[in-house]
Chains A and B, each alone.
Chain A
């Protein structure tokens, strides 16, 4: 697949794409376009539909409704009428654009990586000699050249992952789909993988499904976030963080008590979720540190949802307007005084991608 593509040309186009299973799980409806020159992270918790979406793109599954097109072609059909023969041909042509590494690195145990990748290259209609060369190139690119002639069944998890990634690169496909590709890779291998993907992402369309946020922020230029099979965010990493960030109050306490009961006690007193931040507590040399979402506190207590804490959320004793953050600080202070704890610091902080991801994929909006 040596054809040059414009970066804005859609490599993958999904229109009202939907596939539901009898259990109710599945994905859709999804509307999105993926382009050449992008490294896209597909994020979501377990069961969000990441693998199903990838399987729809590869043609492993057919859509229940809507459509997916790979470089303008439909990747698969389950039509069996004589007229479907053309669609079978077109499906094979669409899959020529794709390189795919499925989750859990399924490999033929009786073959060596070289044999398996040569098979993949031959299935891409390459002559035998060219296929052998393509297999060797892909193995070296993925850092699996040293295990090329060992049986797949004897490989370590890390090496299996590398062979799986190499499998997606054989024959230079224009669209590379990697489903949880970094499982089993050590930090050095992971770094090499990041460099490889960044190199590929200059020209190709690369889609990586992961729930490792480090992977996503290190290499992706765009994120698609799935929850319960639906696309809940689509944009650049910074764009999603900015849009999803909400102001938090970071409270540091010296109490002599353990963190867990304090967390429970504070959450009960405020009536909103409180998240312990042990790393911050250790870093600051205090007994406990907690993050409390300002907007949820204000919302929970029937006040104006200020989000940024700028608008008036309450009144102080003298009747002056108080922001959401100030209301929250006052309540935390009252709680600490009541229990005899010492507040070492209270500061307003912004949530990071992890916190934004958690909110996008776990938290439910009111009434949801």
Chain B
């Protein structure tokens, strides 16, 4: 655990020094708040709910975390510190989990920064705080899974651009596969399979206040699977020519 902690602290310090992090965080919050208050028109409606606000989070959080992960392993490769990291007495899991932990921490911090928006909405109307708690749980589970997917892509990416493009592609495929399947007219068992692996419907269930253990398990299993995959990719990069 000490080594994982070492990587976690190092990665947080590196991210702290990255201006891109602040810019991406500010954009994430600004877009979410703008959508909620202006486009959705929270104040003009009769229903007091922050569900539309959380509904806007998946694509925004996916982009934010993909930008953060671009700054991890691909950045290490770009500036040569990859060689420092890979020659320290760390086990593959230490490096991957420590880096994952740092990005997840920043993502959690950013989700926490949405509290003023939600509390502000609570002042304007009567919110169901039980549902709000469920919505935050959904956002945290989503952040955990999205981070694992982006770390999986970033470990093997040769450049930051590929890491970003790859992460966005994989994330949006997993998020919106069910909607896409419906659009193209997929039906029957195939549609059910696609719906089962898609992330957005499960996230929507959670923010509606339906706490189904199958949905929670889905996020936990997907996170663990992508993290394990990231460790395997990390190990196999030792074969690479430089």
Contact = CB atoms under 8 A, between A and B. Distances in A.
B236 A80 contact: yes
A106 B7 contact: no
B90 A62 contact: no
A55 B79 CA distance: 17
B16 interface: yes
Contact of B89 (A60, A77, A93, A104): A93
Contact of B84 (A23, A151, A167): A167
Contact of B14 (A21, A62, A96, A110): A110
B232 A80 contact: yes
A106 B84 contact: yes
Nearest to B6: A122
A89 interface: yes
Interface string B17-49: 110000000000000000000000000000000
Contacts of B92: 88
A61 B240 CA distance: 7
A78 B236 contact: yes
B191 interface: no
Contacts of A110: 13-14, 16-18
Contacts of B235: 77-80, 84, 88
Nearest to B82: A106
Interface in B200-240: 232, 235-240
A22 B232 CA distance: 23
A240 to B, nearest CB: 29
Contacts of B84: 100, 102, 106-107, 120, 167
A92 B83 contact: no
A108 B3 CA distance: 18
A58 B87 contact: yes
Contacts of A120: 84, 88
A124 interface: yes
B10 interface: yes
Given A88-B91, A111-B14, A125-B89, A102 B80 contact: yes
Given A80-B235, A123-B6, A21 B241 contact: yes
A291 interface: no
Contacts of A102: 80, 83-84, 87
B236 A98 contact: no
A354 interface: no
Of A60, A62, A80, the most chain B CB neighbours within 10 A belong to A60
A265 B216 CA distance: 85
A111 B79 CA distance: 13
Interface residues of A, number: 45
A122 B83 CA distance: 17
A76 interface: yes
A95 interface: yes
B81 A107 contact: yes
B2 A122 contact: yes
A357 interface: no
B5 interface: yes
A66 interface: no
A55 B9 CA distance: 26
A36 interface: no
Interface string A242-264: 00000000000000000000000
B90 A92 contact: yes
Interface string A95-135: 11010101010111111000110011011110100010000
A122 B87 contact: no
Nearest to A88: B91
Interface string A20-37: 011100000000000000
Contacts of B80: 102, 104, 106
A59 B86 contact: yes
Given A79-B235, A110-B18, A115 B87 contact: no
B87 A59 contact: yes
Contact of B2 (A61, A95, A109, A127): A127
Contacts of B242: 55, 61
Contacts of A21: 241
B7 A123 contact: yes
A108 B14 contact: yes
Contacts of B16: 110
Nearest to A173: B89
B240 to A, nearest CB: 8
B4 to A, nearest CB: 10
A55 B10 CA distance: 23
A20 B156 CA distance: 21
Contacts of A108: 10, 13-14, 79, 81
Given A88-B91, A111-B14, A123-B7, A60 B232 contact: no
Contact of B87 (A23, A88, A98): A98
A322 B69 CA distance: 75
Contacts of A58: 86-87
A115 B5 contact: no
Of B84, B91, B93, B242, the most chain A CB neighbours within 10 A belong to B84
Interface of B: 2-3, 5-7, 9-10, 13-14, 16-18, 79-84, 86-94, 232, 235-242
28 contacts: A22-B241, A23-B241, A55-B83, A55-B242, A59-B238, A60-B83, A60-B86, A60-B238, A61-B239, A61-B242, A62-B238, A62-B239, A78-B239, A79-B235, A80-B235, A84-B235, A92-B91, A96-B89, A106-B83, A111-B13, A115-B13, A122-B3, A122-B5, A123-B6, A125-B2, A125-B89, A131-B6, A151-B17
6 interchain residue pairs of minimum CB distance: A110-B17, A106-B80, A122-B6, A95-B89, A58-B87, A21-B241
